[in-house]
Amino acid sequence: MALSHFDSGRRSNVFDPFSLDIWDPFEGFSSSVANIPSSARETSALANTRIDWKETPEAHVFKADLPGLKKEEVKVEVEDGRVLQISGERSREQEEKNDKWHRVERSSGKFMRRFRLPENAKMDQIRASMENGVLTVTVPKEDVKNPEVKAIDISG
């Protein structure tokens, strides 16, 4: 798993300032639609990788279910200084000549999700771990400084 910085990225959801999700043209369609090639359905399934984002008093925590993936197959990167990008690829299972498939529901292909991090994120302290197919990315937050209140004497 790598943590690196690079430039690019576009916001695809203008109504959510923290989201830079990849637009999926197949979202909402059943994967059994015969006119869509299977390779497009596979890529589409992983483009919709679901990620939870919660904010605690100390950090922003992202969790992604990535069953069957090893940490070497997943990248966690920061681009444009404040955009967290989680990406990876699940390889397709090798088909043997004599195999007869009855059903293929597990997805394969590439996925990528992007999230614009708020100003209070400590970009230099991001950490990621993977355990039992669950990727956890923790982005610590800056300490909230209470404004100093100074009493002013009123003359007169």
Share of the chain above pLDDT 70, in %: 69
Q: What is the mean pLDDT of residues 146-150?
A: 83
Most confident stretch, 25-39, 85-99, 120-134, 140-154: 120-134
Name the pTM for this structure: 0.62
- Across the range 111-131, mean pLDDT stands at 94
Pairing of strands 59-65, 109-116: unpaired
State the CB neighbour count (10 A cutoff) for residue 47: 20
Question: What pLDDT was estimated at residue 25?
Answer: 54
79 by Cβ neighbours in 10 Å (0-12 / 13-18 / 19+) ranks as middle
**How do residues 6-41 score in pLDDT, each as one tens digit?**
444 444 455 555 555 555 555 555 544 445 454 444
Please report which confidence band the pLDDT of residue 88 belongs to, taking 50, 70 and 90 as the band edges: very high
Distance separating alpha carbons of residues 111 and 86, to the nearest angstrom: 8
Q: In the predicted model, what is the mean pLDDT of the chain? A: 77
Between 68 and 86, the more confident residue is 86
Amino acid present at 60: H
pLDDT of residue 68: 86
DSSP-assigned letter for residue 35: T
- Give the pLDDT of residue 148: 85
Please, what is the end-to-end C-alpha distance for the chain in angstroms? 67
The whole-number pLDDT of residue 8 equals 43
**pLDDT band at 107, cuts 50/70/90?**
confident
